[in-house]
Amino acid sequence: MIKDITLGQYFPGASPIHKLDPRTKVLLTILYIVSLFVIRGGWGYFVSAAMMFVIIALSRIPFGVVLRGIKPILFVLLFTATFNLIYGTGTPIFEDVSWLGWLTWNGLRNAVFMAVRIILLVIGTSFMTYTTSPIMLTGAMESLLAPLKWVKVPVHELSMMMTIALRFIPTLVDETDKIISAQKARGADFETGNIFRRAKALVPILIPLIISAFRRAEELADAMECRCYHGGNDRTRYKVFHFAARDALAALVMTGQLALIIFLNVVT
């Protein structure tokens, strides 16, 4: 049930993708997203999709998991594709059929490309979280944003907050599951009735959940204070990141991909 959400989930592993420096992965994910928006023609999408397949294969994450990650955005996908299809301009596909006049080659092209772009965007970004543990990810954020400390941005505190937030997602999901079960055991029904009845049925879940989140926050704050935690300067990390040869290789491949896409844009 609620545990089946895959977006933003980490799958432990020891693949070459898992082993990359998390900072590399953050930067290269950004580069990949940029490359997706640079693409102008079909060949560019082909290159991008091929790149994604290589990454999926290297990471050894089951393909089914990747597909499941797309499920939540299916609606957005259909919505965008439909509108691109309707609002296309240019030559109609069926020039003899007057009532299909709105269906143009241009619109079809845009709809397909837009759908592919969104799918690659979602898979690309989820792959960062599939292969990088949340702790590594926030570590990478902190390290990459470190220059902002010069303009008094509390980078460490922000990344600590993010770590804690990410750390508590599974806990709260577990908690939600437990509360749902407990209220079901008392005959609560979340699945029938109109939208208002269903919204009202959520009250017995939300109130205990909020209360428990506050309780946990307080306990954690106490525990941190007991250990004399204070953020900011001079804190060292338990795991120090090091760029390795594989990071350079990954960066080279990803930049090569972007260069190829730009090249394809120019020639076609």
48 contacts 256 by C-beta, under 8 angstroms: no
Check binding of 147 to other proteins (CB under 8 A).
no
Residue 73 vs residues 52, 67, 163, 168: alpha-carbon distances, Å: 18, 11, 26, 24
Subset of residues 51 to 70 that bind other proteins, contact rule: CB under 8 A = 62, 64-65
Check binding of 211 to other proteins (CB under 8 A).
yes
- Out of 74, 185, 226, 240, which residue is the one contacting other proteins (CB under 8 A)? 185
Check binding of 42 to other proteins (CB under 8 A).
no
Check binding of 190 to other proteins (CB under 8 A).
no
Check binding of 256 to other proteins (CB under 8 A).
no
Residue 242 vs residues 22, 83, 126, 253: alpha-carbon distances, Å: 10, 46, 23, 19
The amino acid occupying position 43 is W
Query: Toward other proteins, which CB reaches closer, 50 or 210?
Result: 210
Closest of 111, 64, 58, 63 to residue 83, by C-alpha:
111
Check binding of 250 to other proteins (CB under 8 A).
no
Subset of residues 7 to 36 that bind other proteins, contact rule: CB under 8 A = 11-13
Subset of residues 154 to 183 that bind other proteins, contact rule: CB under 8 A = 175, 178-179, 181-183
**Distance of closest approach, residue 58 Cβ to other proteins, in angstroms:** 17
Encoded one letter per residue, x for contact with other proteins by CB under 8 A and - for no contact, window 85-124 reads: ----------------------------------------
Check binding of 218 to other proteins (CB under 8 A).
no
Query: Toward other proteins, which CB reaches closer, 117 or 216?
Result: 216
Query: Toward other proteins, which CB reaches closer, 64 or 90?
Result: 64
Check binding of 207 to other proteins (CB under 8 A).
yes
The residue written with tokens 């994450």 in the block is: 61
**Distance of closest approach, residue 239 Cβ to other proteins, in angstroms:** 22
Check binding of 188 to other proteins (CB under 8 A).
yes
Query: Toward other proteins, which CB reaches closer, 11 or 83?
Result: 11
Check binding of 2 to other proteins (CB under 8 A).
no
Binding site for other proteins (CB under 8 A): 3, 11-13, 62, 64-65, 175, 178-179, 181-189, 203-204, 207-208, 211-212
